[in-house]
Amino acid sequence: MVRYGIAGFGLHAVRRLMPGFSRSKNCTVTALSRRTMAAARQSAAAYRIPLAFDSVADLCASPEVDAVLVTTPNSCHLSDVLAAVSAGKHVLCEKPMGMNAAECRQMVRAARERKVVFGVAHVFRFNESVLKLRDLLAAGRIGAPVFARCEFSFFAGPNHARTWLHDASLAGAGPIFDIGVHCIDTLRFILQDEVVRVGCTASSDARSGDVESVASLTLEFAKGTIGTVLVSFRAQYRTPLEIVGQTGVLFSENALNVDHPVEVQLRHDGKVVESVTTASINVYTQQVDAFADAIEGRSQFSIPGEDGWRNQEILDATLRSMKSGRIEAVDRVRL
């Protein structure tokens, strides 16, 4: 049984992580941390978690913790990951992995030096819909991919629990970092290709603080596919994904949804020739179980820190493009 400590026990832990852990047969949560001890004890009592801390460093030092799941605001990821690595703990870090690629490089190298398992929680790689799209494309069902489109939006109103989403010093950026990174990673995974150049246009509004509220990204992939990513904090929840190939189209209206069944369509000549309904309600369980398997040596975790670093290089290029108004090259990950 792998014992997890959750650093930054907030909305994500309540809505997604704890239900996932409750279905796991090889993982348990033995500790959590929050900003105050009173809040930490309250959450620990509510979810019957044995240990409560008001310090990530203290959580990481606990002998009752094997792995740390970092879910703190983005600006804290570097210090929290390094604290866990320094304590010899395995680390699964929420996306985006850091505030910039330099931070990601530091995390990856520290984990390698300490020989601990280090992964990034890109949970949608476990979605049945995403895996089905990847398999159909790899099987040549639509020929070579020409265009790839992924959209992600949700409404982050003034009462949203994660108030720090609109603070660049804590979040790094707006929807580009928070949900755009999911779109980028999912397209990389489905296409099995890397982004080499990126362009971005974005806008903000009165509620978005010092970050963008909506953005459009154009991704140039190494094998020639052109991708588009549309993200927003100002629209209803939707996650359509489409791959247009030379001989057909793959489409899913809600590819990145984990709460409801998702339909994946294969279209030829404008007609649906194959349709599969998938369910992904157990992805958070699958993610922590897969990470536990890697810790116990049964397999390698499929989303290592290096992948989070690659995504961050794309995010960095996106922010450069947003400021320059030009297409920007994506720097390579150099280990």
Tally the domains of the chain.
Answer: 2
CA angle centred on 208, ends 153 and 177, rounded to 5°: 50
Residue 137 lies in a domain: yes
Residue 334 lies in a domain: no
Domain containing residue 229: CATH number: 3.30.360.10
Judge if 179 and 246 occupy the same domain.
yes
Judge if 164 and 92 occupy the same domain.
no
Residue 49 lies in a domain: yes
Residue 307 lies in a domain: no
Judge if 318 and 268 occupy the same domain.
yes
- Nearest to 290, CA basis, from 87, 26, 88: 26
Judge if 178 and 266 occupy the same domain.
yes
Judge if 289 and 276 occupy the same domain.
no
Residue 75 lies in a domain: yes
Domain containing residue 98: CATH number: 3.40.50.720
Domain that holds residue 31: 2-123+285-302
pLDDT values of the chain reduced to their tens digit, one per residue, 335 residues? 999 999 999 999 999 999 999 999 999 999 999 999 999 999 999 999 999 999 999 999 999 999 999 999 999 999 999 999 999 999 999 999 999 999 999 999 999 999 999 999 999 999 999 999 999 999 999 999 999 999 999 998 767 777 788 899 999 999 999 999 999 999 999 999 999 999 999 999 988 889 999 999 999 999 999 999 999 999 999 999 999 999 999 999 999 999 999 999 999 999 999 999 999 999 999 999 999 999 999 999 999 999 999 999 999 999 999 999 999 999 999 87
User: pTM of the prediction?
Assistant: 0.96
**Length of the chain as a residue count:** 335
Judge if 24 and 67 occupy the same domain.
yes
Judge if 220 and 114 occupy the same domain.
no
Residue 234 lies in a domain: yes
